[in-house]
Chains A and B, each alone.
Chain A
């Protein structure tokens, strides 16, 4: 049973209020005595087997299909499971699905489910739940859209078997049905209609090793071991997700031992470096990186010229950016597809060589493109970004300095995320915009969207106004194939067009890093608590 935090907190709250005033004056004295013990090893007794994980904001909802914020995703890793997870080589490994058959050119998929799996409230996990998740819930998932577009039907053949009929073959099938995008949700605990405001989103029930028991808004979320977990009770008793919005506080807490894990969604170059310097293990995860893009607005006649775009890209010192803004915890983009998509990656293309940084070359290219220096400047561009994106502040300053060196004036505008998205994707009121994209397990989900022609006004698509029918055609075909060799050929052709026109500037690829305390045992070298659906949570032990 979930203990609703709301019912439990009022007495404590009233206590707070009542004694706050009285205690305030005494606190200095009280804390002087306490401060010695507060530092570091604050754990004792029953709390020793508690794992504390940092998240950086209070989730809006715990349902990862309704909200895809990093904190929601992080928490969902402990209580929910998907049909399978993708290993380091993008090969599906069974979880709730025992096995599967793909037939009819990839259009018919039969999934056999685990018999032993049960929900945390004791009810059995059945094919009905899978069908319910794919038909009733998935439509709310922003990332399942392309899958739903090809899904003809999902039917329960028997309680342990689900049959999917697709309109055409779908490349990213395994990526979409992964825990990260479509975790399985219980039919019996959710309403038929609108689930956006269901109580389930506050007190979710999954099949995972831990069950959410308490949500202390603004402070922490607690999940306790599920004793009847179908793969066996986990070793850790309790996982506490502590909400620490400020990166510096988070690294400090990590160092003092207050928290055990900082997940990949949060860790950035600075925090990674700080932690590593302090002797905290930081490991790079196998998943795909986030791409830090700089979008030029081709509705601006200057930026409509590919020569100008290439000149600007050449002027930007991406290596210095990685050193400074990402403190070495990022890699330069070699092309459209990150190297992590091993099978699809085009080894022949390297932006680092094609557009190697040179202020002199860039200046000449701009002269040649018809924009000589007049009165000390060629032209002026606005650069929009949101400070909530890691490193964006520094990236913007570096671009300002780099383009300044070729006499292009940059007016930097720091906006809150919603305003940024509106100005960039809806109003096209920008010249340059710096935005980071997650890539997910398949380029069709994470990469293509930045290149496809798009005038829908939807955020996180291609805001540049660049449209190339041939490119769109190639990307669509790539999604319709399951065999990687065919897909790679299509992506290679797409890369050629992209290299020629350079509609988008990929500035850096930021891999996933994770920091964890040395207390955690029994996990592989490729330790990954997050984003894989791998039941690492069930196996991990604490020293």
Chain B
């Protein structure tokens, strides 16, 4: 908490620390690769590097490290350095060969199971289950004990005991990938199975399989070591494990016998695991898995300290000015929200409309100060709730705001409810400072207000036991529990059936009329805005492109995007104002200069290649060159009084 309020210098230090740790982390792979490369070189050149023949004996028995024998000698006078260097050869050979065997078997059996499915899959999975209940060390132990401890037998024994993990991975890749669009598409196009397997599935499965193959090398080294320790290694080959065999007896008198090979093994396996981890991270980063950190809401400094702490005009409950959010996604920067200005007055029901990908959800997250902090590149602007600048609050104060003044209802109730917590508890959890019985009472009231049963039995249910509409209402109930001043509803009904949608919307309106809270409804559905809201903002490409009273918005949409949205509404295709929207939402990682909608706009013209201004028209506004003209130096006659117009070029 304190570091949230700490001066900029401290922040910078911490940022540096992060970057150092980050480098180290990403450096793991490099460190591992270099270590392995050194090992392979040492193994390759061991005959030249080693000072002695690894099997030659000297008259120094159990000699400690000395000038003559840098790492000491073992019981019969073998030079440990020479054995260690030659051992690298044997150990790596065994490990890599075993990993290759495991790879081959795993890919073959996993593919068979994944491709044929059905009974073949069942039988093969039983086989892998067999290997899961007989630990691989035990199985390898028996194989080697019964068949002999020649190096190649040891290698094969290790290989055929560790493949099941690989097989499982390949199988699951098969099962998931074959349902994916591109494989379906290839199938529809009539490509052969062979083509699909080798061209589509294998290249995509490569990541996890390669990672597992790498890890298998480490597993094989550890297995060979354990087998040798138990006396089942090949005594003709001085592997590291073989060096450890017999060290037990001389542990105290000659610690060096056990130390070096153990360290070598640990370092090698560590290096292998580094590489495996790095590979896995690399493959994962390609598939772009984000991460949410709980702790920090901002990574970046607040706006200039000169900004007043009470902002905006006194009438607005929520006053967002100049809000900009840039996120990192891999190497690219996503301009999720761009200089957004939104005001919500007390008791008002305001809509925020846009297609998915327009940045509206990120906007709501930003207001709640709940951006995925690890990915935030820039987060600036002013967000004032009831006169308090949320950007300047520390985490604890922000939490209080969320607890008391601000609530949010999310889109997909199933995923936004904790599956392992009873719904009653999830609702009461959001209440502050009440006794247990009061909470119960209040919970019943809220449940009643959203038309849910108020029985104890209902409160003891888990989310998965409820219908979709009920879940959404639970979510609304949760949001209402804290009696917020502002309720943000982010696509509150999108996941529901049309009939249920209507019920939930009615619930929302009913709740609203009973209290004096304001609502910000974020949706892609203009119909909802029409039904519920007083006023609405339209968002496109991270920018607010239009602001208008709902009646006005529907009667006379200004921005071409708004018109497109209208035209796309079911049953409104004949709307005179324009055609349905075509094309797809602008790519936020690659925003064009000028108007972001220009590429999809029928009315685009040359001026659209420069950024359009925000044209304020009374209480309303639009971001489009078409309207800038109305007040521009060239001017055009309009029915609006000139003094109500204001052009802001930002």
CB–CB B57/A398 < 8 A: yes
CB–CB B75/A414 < 8 A: no
**Which residue in chain A gives the minimum CB-CB distance to B250?**
A270
Shortest Cβ gap from B86 to chain A (Å): 14
Contact of B248 among A248, A394, A398, A411 (CB under 8 A): A248
- The answer to whether B584 has its CB under 8 Å from any CB of chain A is no
CB–CB B235/A324 < 8 A: no
- B245 surroundings in chain A (CB, below 8 A): 387, 393
Q: How far is the CA of A400 from the CA of B235 in the complex (A)?
A: 10
**Which residue in chain B gives the minimum CB-CB distance to A414?**
B235
- The answer to whether A454 has its CB under 8 Å from any CB of chain B is no
**Which residue in chain B gives the minimum CB-CB distance to A328?**
B61
- The answer to whether A381 has its CB under 8 Å from any CB of chain B is no
- The answer to whether A401 has its CB under 8 Å from any CB of chain B is yes
Chain A 381-402 interface residues, beta-carbon cutoff 8 Å to B: 387, 393-394, 396-398, 400-402
Interface size on A, residues (CB 8 A): 30
Chain A 307-326 interface residues, beta-carbon cutoff 8 Å to B: 320, 323-325
CB–CB B231/A387 < 8 A: yes
- The answer to whether B145 has its CB under 8 Å from any CB of chain A is yes
- B77 surroundings in chain A (CB, below 8 A): 320, 324
- The answer to whether A247 has its CB under 8 Å from any CB of chain B is yes
CB–CB A398/B235 < 8 A: no
Among B78, B149, B232, B249, max chain A CB count under 10 A is at B249
- The answer to whether B208 has its CB under 8 Å from any CB of chain A is no
- The answer to whether A101 has its CB under 8 Å from any CB of chain B is no
Contact of B61 among A246, A324, A414, A415 (CB under 8 A): A324
Q: How far is the CA of A324 from the CA of B57 in the complex (A)?
A: 10
**Which residue in chain B gives the minimum CB-CB distance to A251?**
B252
CB–CB B249/A404 < 8 A: no
Q: How far is the CA of A327 from the CA of B74 in the complex (A)?
A: 12
CB–CB B236/A411 < 8 A: yes
CB–CB B235/A401 < 8 A: no
Q: How far is the CA of A270 from the CA of B236 in the complex (A)?
A: 23
- B252 surroundings in chain A (CB, below 8 A): 248, 252, 274
- A324 surroundings in chain B (CB, below 8 A): 57, 61, 75-77
CB–CB B248/A320 < 8 A: no
- The answer to whether B56 has its CB under 8 Å from any CB of chain A is yes
Contact of A247 among B232, B235, B249 (CB under 8 A): B249
Chain B 43-69 interface residues, beta-carbon cutoff 8 Å to A: 55-57, 59, 61
Chain A 401-431 interface residues, beta-carbon cutoff 8 Å to B: 401-402, 404, 411-416
- The answer to whether B246 has its CB under 8 Å from any CB of chain A is yes
- The answer to whether A277 has its CB under 8 Å from any CB of chain B is yes
CB–CB B235/A396 < 8 A: yes
CB–CB A320/B59 < 8 A: yes
**Which residue in chain A gives the minimum CB-CB distance to B61?**
A324
Contact of B55 among A323, A327, A400, A416 (CB under 8 A): A400
Chain A 264-289 interface residues, beta-carbon cutoff 8 Å to B: 270-271, 273-274, 277
A277 in contact with B253 given A411-B236, A414-B149 (CB within 8 Å): yes
- A401 surroundings in chain B (CB, below 8 A): 55-57, 76
CB–CB B248/A323 < 8 A: no
Q: How far is the CA of A414 from the CA of B249 in the complex (A)?
A: 18
Q: How far is the CA of A273 from the CA of B252 in the complex (A)?
A: 12
- A397 surroundings in chain B (CB, below 8 A): 55, 57, 76, 78, 235
- The answer to whether B251 has its CB under 8 Å from any CB of chain A is yes
Q: How far is the CA of A400 from the CA of B237 in the complex (A)?
A: 12
Q: How far is the CA of A401 from the CA of B599 in the complex (A)?
A: 82
- B149 surroundings in chain A (CB, below 8 A): 413-415
Shortest Cβ gap from B142 to chain A (Å): 12
CB–CB A398/B249 < 8 A: no
Chain B 391-441 interface residues, beta-carbon cutoff 8 Å to A: none
Chain B 552-605 interface residues, beta-carbon cutoff 8 Å to A: none
Q: How far is the CA of A327 from the CA of B61 in the complex (A)?
A: 9
- A248 surroundings in chain B (CB, below 8 A): 248-252
Q: How far is the CA of A246 from the CA of B252 in the complex (A)?
A: 14
Q: Is the interface of A mostly helix, strand, loop or mixed?
A: helix
- A412 surroundings in chain B (CB, below 8 A): 235-236
Shortest Cβ gap from B147 to chain A (Å): 11
Q: How far is the CA of A139 from the CA of B150 in the complex (A)?
A: 40
Contact of B253 among A246, A274, A400, A414 (CB under 8 A): A274
- B75 surroundings in chain A (CB, below 8 A): 270, 324-325, 327, 394
- B232 surroundings in chain A (CB, below 8 A): 414
CB–CB B248/A246 < 8 A: yes
Q: How far is the CA of A316 from the CA of B425 in the complex (A)?
A: 82
Q: How far is the CA of A397 from the CA of B74 in the complex (A)?
A: 11
- B236 surroundings in chain A (CB, below 8 A): 400, 411-412
Q: How far is the CA of A66 from the CA of B246 in the complex (A)?
A: 32
Q: How far is the CA of A393 from the CA of B236 in the complex (A)?
A: 11
Shortest Cβ gap from B244 to chain A (Å): 12
- B59 surroundings in chain A (CB, below 8 A): 320, 323
- B246 surroundings in chain A (CB, below 8 A): 393-394
CB–CB A393/B235 < 8 A: yes
- A246 surroundings in chain B (CB, below 8 A): 248
**Which residue in chain A gives the minimum CB-CB distance to B252?**
A274
- B253 surroundings in chain A (CB, below 8 A): 270, 273-274, 277
Among A274, A320, A414, A415, max chain B CB count under 10 A is at A414
Contact with A along B222-234 (1 / 0, CB 8 A): 0000000001111
CB–CB A270/B249 < 8 A: yes
Q: How far is the CA of A516 from the CA of B496 in the complex (A)?
A: 84
Q: How far is the CA of A401 from the CA of B76 in the complex (A)?
A: 10
Chain A 11-56 interface residues, beta-carbon cutoff 8 Å to B: none
**Which residue in chain B gives the minimum CB-CB distance to A404?**
B55
Contact with B along A294-317 (1 / 0, CB 8 A): 000000000000000000000000
Q: How far is the CA of A16 from the CA of B251 in the complex (A)?
A: 32
CB–CB A320/B57 < 8 A: yes
Contact with A along B250-279 (1 / 0, CB 8 A): 111100000000000000000000000000
Q: How far is the CA of A247 from the CA of B249 in the complex (A)?
A: 6
Chain A 235-251 interface residues, beta-carbon cutoff 8 Å to B: 246-248
- B145 surroundings in chain A (CB, below 8 A): 416
- A273 surroundings in chain B (CB, below 8 A): 253
Q: How far is the CA of A246 from the CA of B250 in the complex (A)?
A: 12
- B248 surroundings in chain A (CB, below 8 A): 246, 248
Shortest Cβ gap from B433 to chain A (Å): 37
- A402 surroundings in chain B (CB, below 8 A): 57
Q: How far is the CA of A252 from the CA of B250 in the complex (A)?
A: 11
Among B75, B76, B77, B251, max chain A CB count under 10 A is at B76
- A398 surroundings in chain B (CB, below 8 A): 57, 76
Q: How far is the CA of A270 from the CA of B246 in the complex (A)?
A: 11
Chain A 174-231 interface residues, beta-carbon cutoff 8 Å to B: none
Chain B 195-240 interface residues, beta-carbon cutoff 8 Å to A: 231-236
- B235 surroundings in chain A (CB, below 8 A): 393, 396-397, 412-414
CB–CB A325/B76 < 8 A: yes
Q: How far is the CA of A416 from the CA of B233 in the complex (A)?
A: 12
Among B234, B236, B245, max chain A CB count under 10 A is at B236
**Which residue in chain B gives the minimum CB-CB distance to A326?**
B75
Shortest Cβ gap from A327 to chain B (Å): 7
Shortest Cβ gap from A278 to chain B (Å): 9
Q: How far is the CA of A323 from the CA of B62 in the complex (A)?
A: 11
Q: How far is the CA of A199 from the CA of B57 in the complex (A)?
A: 51
Q: How far is the CA of A416 from the CA of B148 in the complex (A)?
A: 9
Q: How far is the CA of A274 from the CA of B248 in the complex (A)?
A: 13
Q: How far is the CA of A413 from the CA of B251 in the complex (A)?
A: 25
- 10 new A-B contacts at CB < 8 Å, known A320-B77, A401-B57, A413-B235: A248-B252, A270-B75, A270-B253, A387-B231, A387-B245, A394-B75, A397-B235, A398-B76, A414-B231, A416-B145
**Which residues of B are at the interface with A, using a C-beta cutoff of 8 A?**
55-57, 59, 61, 75-78, 145, 148-149, 231-236, 245-246, 248-253
**Subset of 12 A-B contacts with CB under 8 Å:** A246-B248, A248-B252, A273-B253, A320-B77, A323-B59, A323-B61, A324-B75, A324-B77, A393-B235, A397-B78, A398-B57, A414-B235
A-B pairs, top 4 by smallest CB distance, nearest first, are: A387-B231, A412-B235, A401-B57, A324-B61
